Structure 1
Amino acid sequence: MSNRIITQSKNLALNYGARRVFENVTFIIHEGDKVGLVGPNGAGKTSLFRVLTGSEEPAEGVLSWTQGVRVGYLQQVRTPPAGQTVFAAALEELADILAMRAEISRLEQAMEHPDTLADEKVLEQVMAEYADLLHRYEEGGGYGAEAKVRSVLRGLGFTEDDFNLPAEVLSGGQKTRLALARLLLRPYDLLMLDEPTNHLDIGATEWLEDYLRDYRGAVLVISHDRYFLDKICGRIFHLERGCLDMYPGNYSRFLQLRDEALLAQKRAFAKDQAEIARIEEYIRRNKAGVNAKQARGRETRLARRERIAQPVESMSLQDLKFVPQTSSSEQVLVLRDLAAAYPGRPLFAGLDLTVRRGECIAILGKNGAGKTSLFRILLGELPPAGGDIVFGLRVKPAYYAQEQEHLNDNDTLLEAIRAMRPMTEEQARTLLGRFLFRGDDVFKTVGVLSGGEKSRLVLAQLFLTGANLLLLDEPTNNLDIGAKEALEEALADFPGTLLVISHDRFFLDRLADRVLELADGHFTQYLGNYSDYRSKKAEREAAEKEAAQRAAGAKARTNAETSDRPGMPGNAGNQGASSGAASPTGGAGKSGGPKLTNPWKREQALKEAESRIARLEERLQSLSEALADESTYRDGEQARRTQEEYEQVRQELTDAYTEWEAVVESM
């Protein structure tokens, strides 16, 4: 971490009317810092961001910035103009690169102009400007600008087909991802991100983690994704009850240090209370006796004594338990060759699954792969495209919907709860209190609730179902970390069965017994939790890669043996054969095939290899220039074909160099 300070605050305070949001907020953010800002919903995290960006004026305190620092904040990214494509909207963020590109083109035209050519001094000056600009363009990554844009867009879940879509037709989640992509493309000294993993699937979240870890600027991020905070953060700011505390390390380290600090506070408070009780007992016993003077003196000192405040633990869901009304059979659900599809669009096929009582099965896959559709088929809301579904005896399912579409915006919280089961108002208030709805909160209508409040209301409704099979679609979305932890505890103790769609990897690590990954229309099963799934998937991919390499090696050796036989292509006995893309070495040298012993044949193979390398390098240079040309991207299909050919030629060139080295080693 650099010592250069990006921003610092001293005793910041913010009020909303008579309510104080926070006070005495003091911190420093250095260059390259990666800081997580955490705390319960409503603690003031986003309000602090608004103070930092100047959208809110602090009631007290001082906020200062180092001169010239560049700060990026997602809410400040402007909406792309109507008709602009996704790719163009993202590329627009590299305005400095595009400006240099236009200036380079102008200087090139100037160098070719007759008036410039006629004046040696002018030509020399233009050429010097051109050389300097070209150097800065190359240093700034100008030649790779489009490749960088493609990389960021793909990383955040956009496909090549999405690149040419008008930005205004994107869904809300896609627009948020596009805004995030545009933010990431600019070189800021400080990035401020408020829940950046919302609307990202696991693959995109992991890409973002890698990107932010390597990001040269500082990052200040609000997030409830504990896995994400563990991966990228070197410090944690904890904002709760108006106070900001700072901890070194990632989120897991913060939990450890916070618990240790809370324990120390509890011990200090208990010791202080015991001392106060001892003094009070002395005063009570001696106030009217021979030691009355000493007792009065101690009473005076006790009144002036600075007392240790009682530690206050974080407020979270209380006594959350899901209790089934009945126990299901051992075999809860059997799926045989299950398939799902929308008209003209297959989702998945061939799902065979047996679910047993007490299991927690996590379902992973990209957004739109068909995970929620699977739940809707199991609930009878959608017909399957094929296959069989058999529920066991006494199975009672309940569904937590990600979009919470079953809620009626006009219902009060009391009405929403009492509609689930007959109960008195007092009983409903008591239940809602356990989900942190207190006092007049119970008379709020559903339509005015925040996302986190709606999630807690749905959990309260789920609590009342008495179901023994819970189908949970992103149950931790909108919950703060304390609520997530309480929900995890409740589900860990749940004696029934769980099917869970979630992008919360911390949550999945705690609960999952099996992972079903949906990709390319098929499910793959992994035993264990999320970390086990990651490990086993990596092992499987490594094994598949090794098998592919062995197969390629075997094919190369076969080709080498064939090419050395008389009368076969590439042999001296068949000099008219085309040298094209076939290996000129026949797998010699490094490939492990037989060495070329015929001097004429070795010389011929070397010439063919060098000729092939020259052709490929020339073509690669041509494609590189095309990719650097702005006009290439006016036609999305042409841009895609050019990029694909570039990757193919680059791979062929790598192979050609390998073959050339093999020939050289055989000589």
Structure 2
Amino acid sequence: MIAFRQLALVRGGEPLIEPSDLIINDGEKVGIVGTNGAGKSSLFALMLGELAADRGELAITNGARIAHMAQEIDARDRTITDYVLDGDHALRAVEHQIDAAQQAGDDMRYAELLGELEHHDGYTARPRAEQLLVGLGFAQHELDQPLSAFSGGWRMRANLARTLFTPSDILLLDEPTNHLDLDALFWLEQWLVRYPGTLLLISHDRDFLDGVCNRILHFDQRQLVLYTANYSSFERMRAERLASREAERVKQEARRAELEDFVRRFRAKATKARQAQSRLKMLERMGEIAPLRAESPFTFSIEAWDKISFPLLSLDQANIGYAEPPVLKHVRLSLAPGDRIGLLGPNGAGKSTLIKALTGDLPLLSGERVEGEHLKLGYFAQHQVDALDLDASAYLHIQRMSPQSSEQEIRNFLGGFDFRGDDAFAAVGQFSGGEKARVALALIAWQKPNLLLLDEPTNHLDLEMREALTDALARFEGAVVIVSHDRHLMRASVDRFWCVADGQVAPFDGDLDDYQRWLKERGTSSGKAKVAPEIEQSAAEPEVESPASTQADKRQQRKQSAAQREQLKPLKKARDAAEKKMSSLQKEMAVIEERLGDQTLYSDENKAKLLQLTQQRGELGTALEDAEQQWLEAEEALEAAQR
């Protein structure tokens, strides 16, 4: 159990966390969300003992083992498998003792240590470590290579594998998906769902939070608020809470205006002086309710160049790679105005290689790349931020591209990416990874492309910026090709998929859920993707059906639809009833939480009242969990019936 008791934290003279009370029970999986700088990483530092609370206490069950991802990666001369095994310090200590006993010829001690080795699952340790590495995308032949042979992103994957391998009761993960592709993300999601301990997860990936977490801890204006929900439910519940708070604020403002008017009119009158003083005291006691603030500071759009070509870009019989043999063979595809394509495929299959070939940055080994007359490319690479001039400001980056643009025009544009005031003129080298990514996106948007090629554009972006990018892409009128592990972005931004696998590029017949199932099948068999032979500019002519057979089919479909609707009615009724019950319980919980926020409750004379409210909150929490379980079961049954 993790308990916060009136815990408060101050950093740099500013409060990060105001006195908070909450309990995280064993086995819960908690997603931690909030704006950048709100204190999410500081909360981890508190739990690790790297920071001390300025008030209250953080209590963790005695003896609980905590695993977390280290920021610095050392031992780069170790093989990646040994690096992962080093995460289990107790196991490594036993192995060293076994070596010492062998060298000393102490057979009795050696036999004892073999028993300890079994206690630490030492005989399965190496296969378990290798399984973690392969799950996170490493190839079997890479497992004996040194850590130094891999790039920074792959070292972070090895670091994540080491963290997962470390025996733990509490697991702290800070943005573990940043360097993962979809395959590894699917695998990690399932691993975390099966993790038996308590998970605290900081993530900006809403689908990942939904798939893993059953609680959301929100940093809300220096308050810690724990929701018994996944991320999507949290968003709905928070929207209701904010709307309720705004309504209360409006009501309070009206009451405040009445009191102030009374005081102003009757303060000087002897007959009304006492009433005026009474109302002044009421005004002093009236707590301020913060106004409903904007959810996100980011509101930008990507305008498309008004000139187009058909096709915009095509590859014909292209062999793509860096040397023979090619990574992708005989690729034939066309990109037309309005195309919205998501690239899928196993790790290392060549998705980024295809994007580079489309941009022209990677010359074809053979075949032809043809640009339309009016093609205007916007390209975001995985490491786009590394190409920025760290000494230049965001303003200067754009001014170099468009010297004729006015200062106000550039500043107004950058404001949509939350570079306001002096921030627009600050050196990019001072920025965080997320801020640099925003600069890179701003440079692309400024150019008004008619074809966007985006390779992992959400790396380093927080939830608000991801949502702004998703919205901007939905409104973008040009063509889009995206590689991304952010499923929410992909679902909202593309309408069809191409699969890059086995040296081929072909249409994928399905959605992201189908792709996840295909990956599982691929892992257990030699089956190929559900893909068509090649990508053509236009589809083949359909077979002609007779009108009579078509009408009969439609009548049959209508009958089947009607039967299915009847079958779904009781399931929908059960789901809606559970949802209504959840809503009612959440409102009751909000009232209790508000009453528990009264500081006078914590005095000695109010102990009985505090105990009563705490018990009520516990009972409501249990009832809410039951209602949520009923809702989940009804929703799953409904989804199964609709398949």
TM-score of the superposition, structure 2-length normalised? 0.73
**Contact kept? 1:193, 1:222, Cα under 8 Å:** yes
Q: Give 2:505's aligned amino acid.
A: F
Q: Which among 40, 51, 61 is matched to residue 56 of structure 1? A: 51
Answer yes or no: is 1:513 the counterpart of 2:495: yes
Alignment of 1:543-562 (within 5 A): none
Quickly say closer, same or farther: Cα 1:47–1:266, change in 2 above 3 A: same
Quickly say closer, same or farther: Cα 1:532–1:285, change in 2 above 3 A: farther
Q: Give 1:154's aligned amino acid.
A: V
Q: Which among 293, 311, 326 is matched to residue 313 of structure 1? A: 293
Q: CA deviation at 1:379?
A: 2.4
Quickly say closer, same or farther: Cα 1:97–1:290, change in 2 above 3 A: closer
Deviations 1:292-315 (A, max 9, x none): 679846853653351551333355
Q: Give 1:412's aligned amino acid.
A: S
Q: Give 1:58's aligned amino acid.
A: A
Deviations 1:620-647 (A, max 9, x none): xxxxxxxxxxxxxxxxxxxxxxxxxxxx
Q: Equivalents in 1 of 2:210, 2:515: separation in Å?
A: 19
Residue in structure 2 matched with residue 92 of structure 1 by the alignment: 86
**Contact kept? 1:39, 1:480, Cα under 8 Å:** no
Answer yes or no: is 1:150 the counterpart of 2:130: yes
Q: CA deviation at 1:265?
A: 1.2
Q: CA deviation at 1:111?
A: 12
Quickly say closer, same or farther: Cα 1:42–1:230, change in 2 above 3 A: same
Q: Equivalents in 1 of 2:44, 2:141: separation in Å?
A: 35
Residue in structure 2 matched with residue 472 of structure 1 by the alignment: 454
Q: What secondary structure is seen at the aligned counterpart in 2 of 1:352?
A: strand
Q: Equivalents in 1 of 2:94, 2:381: separation in Å?
A: 50
Q: Give 1:505's aligned amino acid.
A: R
Q: CA deviation at 1:274?
A: 3.5
Alignment of 1:74-89 (within 5 A): 74-75=69-70, 79-80=74-75, 83-89=77-83
Deviations 1:162-208 (A, max 9, x none): 11112233221222122221221121111111111121221111111
Q: Equivalents in 1 of 2:524, 2:119: separation in Å?
A: 35
**Contact kept? 2:186, 2:516, Cα under 8 Å:** no
Q: What secondary structure is seen at the aligned counterpart in 2 of 1:50?
A: helix
Q: CA deviation at 1:371?
A: 2.5
Residue in structure 1 matched with residue 398 of structure 2 by the alignment: 417
Q: Give 1:56's aligned amino acid.
A: L
Answer yes or no: is 1:483 the counterpart of 2:470: no
Alignment of 1:606-621 (within 5 A): none
Quickly say closer, same or farther: Cα 1:135–1:286, change in 2 above 3 A: same
Residue in structure 2 matched with residue 659 of structure 1 by the alignment: none
The answer to which of 87-96 and 416-425 deviates more is 87-96
Q: Equivalents in 2 of 1:58, 1:111: separation in Å?
A: 51
Residue in structure 2 matched with residue 427 of structure 1 by the alignment: 409
Q: Equivalents in 1 of 2:332, 2:219: separation in Å?
A: 47
Quickly say closer, same or farther: Cα 1:424–1:25, change in 2 above 3 A: farther
Deviations 1:588-646 (A, max 9, x none): xxxxxxxxxxxxxxxxxxxxxxxxxxxxxxxxxxxxxxxxxxxxxxxxxxxxxxxxxxx
TM-score of the superposition, structure 1-length normalised? 0.71
The answer to which of 403-412 and 536-545 deviates more is 536-545
Deviations 1:436-491 (A, max 9, x none): 12232122111111111011112222221121211112111111101111111111
**Contact kept? 1:512, 1:529, Cα under 8 Å:** no
Residue in structure 2 matched with residue 228 of structure 1 by the alignment: 208
Alignment of 1:179-194 (within 5 A): 179-194=159-174
Q: What secondary structure is seen at the aligned counterpart in 2 of 1:463?
A: helix
Residue in structure 1 matched with residue 12 of structure 2 by the alignment: 17
Q: What secondary structure is seen at the aligned counterpart in 2 of 1:58?
A: coil
Q: What secondary structure is seen at the aligned counterpart in 1 of 2:143?
A: helix
Q: Equivalents in 2 of 1:226, 1:214: separation in Å?
A: 19
Q: Equivalents in 2 of 1:385, 1:79: separation in Å?
A: 39
**Contact kept? 1:156, 1:200, Cα under 8 Å:** yes
Q: Equivalents in 2 of 1:100, 1:409: separation in Å?
A: 48
Residue in structure 2 matched with residue 199 of structure 1 by the alignment: 179
Deviations 1:303-340 (A, max 9, x none): 33515513333552443111223142454333322221
The answer to which of 102-111 and 325-334 deviates more is 102-111
Structure 1, unaligned runs of 5 or more: 114-125, 548-667
Q: Give 2:487's aligned amino acid.
A: R
Q: CA deviation at 1:517?
A: 2.0
Residue in structure 2 matched with residue 400 of structure 1 by the alignment: 380
Residue in structure 1 matched with residue 329 of structure 2 by the alignment: 349
Quickly say closer, same or farther: Cα 1:471–1:154, change in 2 above 3 A: same
Q: Equivalents in 2 of 1:464, 1:111: separation in Å?
A: 73
Quickly say closer, same or farther: Cα 1:258–1:107, change in 2 above 3 A: same
Q: Equivalents in 1 of 2:262, 2:104: separation in Å?
A: 97
Q: Equivalents in 2 of 1:249, 1:533: separation in Å?
A: 27
Q: Equivalents in 2 of 1:76, 1:431: separation in Å?
A: 35
Quickly say closer, same or farther: Cα 1:282–1:473, change in 2 above 3 A: same
Quickly say closer, same or farther: Cα 1:299–1:528, change in 2 above 3 A: farther
Quickly say closer, same or farther: Cα 1:293–1:93, change in 2 above 3 A: closer
Residue in structure 2 matched with residue 618 of structure 1 by the alignment: none
Residue in structure 1 matched with residue 39 of structure 2 by the alignment: 44
Quickly say closer, same or farther: Cα 1:545–1:454, change in 2 above 3 A: closer
Q: Give 1:151's aligned amino acid.
A: Q
Q: What secondary structure is seen at the aligned counterpart in 1 of 2:418?
A: coil
Deviations 1:15-64 (A, max 9, x none): 33333333324433322121111112222211221222122233333222
Q: Give 2:15's aligned amino acid.
A: R
Quickly say closer, same or farther: Cα 1:330–1:170, change in 2 above 3 A: closer
Quickly say closer, same or farther: Cα 1:108–1:307, change in 2 above 3 A: closer
Q: What secondary structure is seen at the aligned counterpart in 1 of 2:321?
A: strand
Quickly say closer, same or farther: Cα 1:545–1:403, change in 2 above 3 A: closer
Quickly say closer, same or farther: Cα 1:303–1:29, change in 2 above 3 A: closer
**Contact kept? 2:298, 2:464, Cα under 8 Å:** no
Q: Give 2:171's aligned amino acid.
A: L
Residue in structure 2 matched with residue 524 of structure 1 by the alignment: 506
Residue in structure 2 matched with residue 118 of structure 1 by the alignment: none
Identity rate, percent: 36
Q: Equivalents in 1 of 2:281, 2:102: separation in Å?
A: 86
> Which structure has the greater CA radius of gyration?
1
Q: What secondary structure is seen at the aligned counterpart in 2 of 1:384?
A: coil
Q: Give 1:208's aligned amino acid.
A: L
**Contact kept? 1:91, 1:149, Cα under 8 Å:** yes
Quickly say closer, same or farther: Cα 1:527–1:306, change in 2 above 3 A: farther
Q: CA deviation at 1:239?
A: 1.5
**Contact kept? 2:183, 2:519, Cα under 8 Å:** no
Q: Give 1:201's aligned amino acid.
A: D
Q: What secondary structure is seen at the aligned counterpart in 1 of 2:199?
A: strand
Residue in structure 2 matched with residue 439 of structure 1 by the alignment: 421
Structure 2, unaligned runs of 5 or more: 530-643
**Contact kept? 1:314, 1:482, Cα under 8 Å:** no
Supply the RMSD in Å over aligned alpha carbons. Answer: 3.5
Q: What secondary structure is seen at the aligned counterpart in 1 of 2:249?
A: helix
Q: Give 1:444's aligned amino acid.
A: A
Q: Give 1:73's aligned amino acid.
A: H
Q: Equivalents in 1 of 2:526, 2:74: separation in Å?
A: 43
Quickly say closer, same or farther: Cα 1:532–1:321, change in 2 above 3 A: farther
